[in-house]
Amino acid sequence: MRTFRPLTFAMLIGTCAGSVMMVRAQEASVPDTLKLRGMTARFAPTEIGADLSKLSASDRGVLARLIEASKIVDALFLRQAWAGNESMLLDLVKDQTAAGRARLHYFLINKGPWSRLDHDQTFVPGAPAKPAGANYYPADATKADLERWMQSLPEADRVRATGFFSVIRRGRGTGVGAFTVVPYNVEYQNELMRAAGLLREAAALASEPTLKIFLTKRADAFLSNDYYDSDVAWMEIKGAIEPTIGPYEVYEDELFNYKAGFESFITVQDAAESAKLAKFGGELQDIENHLPIDPAYRNPTLGALAPIAVVNEIFAAGDANRGVQTAAFNLPNDERVTREKGAKRVMLKNVQDAKFAKILLPISKVVLAPADQKDVSFEAFFTHILVHELMHGLGPHNITVSGRQTTVRQEMKEASSALEEAKADISSLFAIQHMIDKGVLPASLERSLYTTFLASAFRSIRFGINEAHGRGIAIQMNFLLDAGGFVVRPDGTFTVDRARIKEGVTALTREIMTIQAQGDYAKAKALAERLGVVRPAVQKALDRLTGVPVDIEPRFTAAERLLNPSASPATRRRVASKS
């Protein structure tokens, strides 16, 4: 595989004078070592672990093998993000200069040479601009060519081409039709065979029957490319160990939002907290029935299986551990499973604890009026994240457009992820208020709910508006400012107008879900272009947050204790920081 040094990259993009000037201009903008260290400092090193003392020896063996499989997933995701990642990583490892070590550190955080917090700015000399299609499509293919080819295919082939679990490569011949669909189990055969072997070893050690079934079926899925049975089995897992491993989120495919990135969350159950939240599952149909949209767009019968799990993370890899860390997730994304079975919501409690203490509380001291700061609470933060994940499963998903059966994801294309994140965020406020009004949640939560969300909006918008969550929160922030639900005070701090916030929340929930239900791609694009920006008043507040970390950089201490039980604490800390 080629190494992307400056001369090689210039040759790749052309030897003409204009191309050389492009490379020189790009290299001139690469941050120096001091600036790069400052960019890295935005991620606060944080120990992430869990109490594993009550686990049996066999359970510890299961976890150890799952962590080893996750490391394979980590390398696989590097390939998915960019074809040059593995070669560049090897070069960075060899570079022992101060600049080289700084670039390697930030490369590992971002899973590539582009700063995800800075509109994908290149920070390694010689790296190209971040490809919108990652490594899922031919690097020289245009979006228009790919769309024409996909539309020319018979329906069954088009479903495979636009599905989660395939890449598009150059086929035989030339012209628009010179593409072919390659399933993941062929494209990533070597990695998936090794990962499947480790999952089978873990299954052999597992004493919990549902875990054994999932691990066996997921190993089969890695080799067959059919994930349906293992997705259903994942939703039914019981017991202490809660692993999530496979291709799920489509964020990296910024061209179409079609292709799933490999990721892994290895976690252990927090049984007490899970039991407290189980009641939310029984409220989903009632929330769906009261969504502020045309009743024809509501789902009269949600999937019966909607488990909620509160867990503590011990290891994350691939798309689950790049840039900003995931605090919760709602899976699977396969519409076949969600239509028939619903979805599972997983809350990463120890990650949320860290984010609240290290990020959100310091932000609130800067962006909120002093009188409002006391209303920021972990209960509101945790509840909003939980219901955010619940709301991914509600509202329009499988839709009809011009008599054609399709999905929101396919119709929204590259606008899908940001719109869906905005939907889940804003509709979760609507849903929590509905449950407060109904008496399911305490009335005391209402005051802290909107103030905590306002502070957390500044936390999320710092992820960058090129990222789905960041752009989604910008849409909400600007809509609620325009609606008067959020107000900028004369001193530049922000507050909630409690007389207008609920109306704004309801209006935006209605607008986004109606766009999704109608499959209106043009309106989705227009909404994002109009509101998915950082306005001057918001930017001024963000400028005052330079001393507050943007997110955490996890150090998986519990995982290292599992893999290196005899190592000293200092050695484990050094290894954990490189994981």
The pTM score is 0.79
Residues 40 and 111: their CA atoms lie apart, in Å, by: 13
Q: According to the model, what pLDDT value does residue 466 have?
A: 80
Residues 65 and 205: their CA atoms lie apart, in Å, by: 10
Residues 339 and 552: their CA atoms lie apart, in Å, by: 35
Q: According to the model, what pLDDT value does residue 19 have?
A: 38
> Does residue 332 have a cis peptide bond before it, meaning omega lies within 30 degrees of 0?
yes
Q: Which amino acid is at 92?
A: L
Give the pairing type, strands 404-407 and 241-247: unpaired
Contacts of 419 (CB under 8 A, 6+ apart): 412, 472, 475, 512, 515, 516, 524, 527, 528
Q: According to the model, what pLDDT value does residue 27 have?
A: 53
For residue 82, the tally of other CB atoms under 10 A from its CB is: 23
Residues 40 and 357: their CA atoms lie apart, in Å, by: 19
Which tokens hold the place of 99?
Answer: 């600049």
Backbone dihedral angles phi then psi of residue 226, each to the nearest 5 degrees: -110, 110
Average pLDDT, the chain: 90
Q: According to the model, what pLDDT value does residue 335 have?
A: 80
Residue of 308, 165, 314 lying closest to 225 (CA atoms):
165
Q: According to the model, what pLDDT value does residue 13 have?
A: 31
**Three-point CA angle 485, 487, 488, nearest 5°:** 160
Ordered DSSP codes for 337-351: HHHHH--EEEEEHHH
- In contact, 317 and 534? CB cutoff 8 Å: no
Backbone dihedral angles phi then psi of residue 278, each to the nearest 5 degrees: -60, -30
- In contact, 467 and 546? CB cutoff 8 Å: no
Give the residue ranges of the chain where pLDDT is below 70.
1-28, 172-177, 303-306, 566-579
Q: According to the model, what pLDDT value does residue 568 have?
A: 52
Ordered DSSP codes for 296-334: GGS-SS--S---EEEEEEEEEEETTSSSSPPSEEEE---
Residue of 423, 411, 387 lying closest to 284 (CA atoms):
387
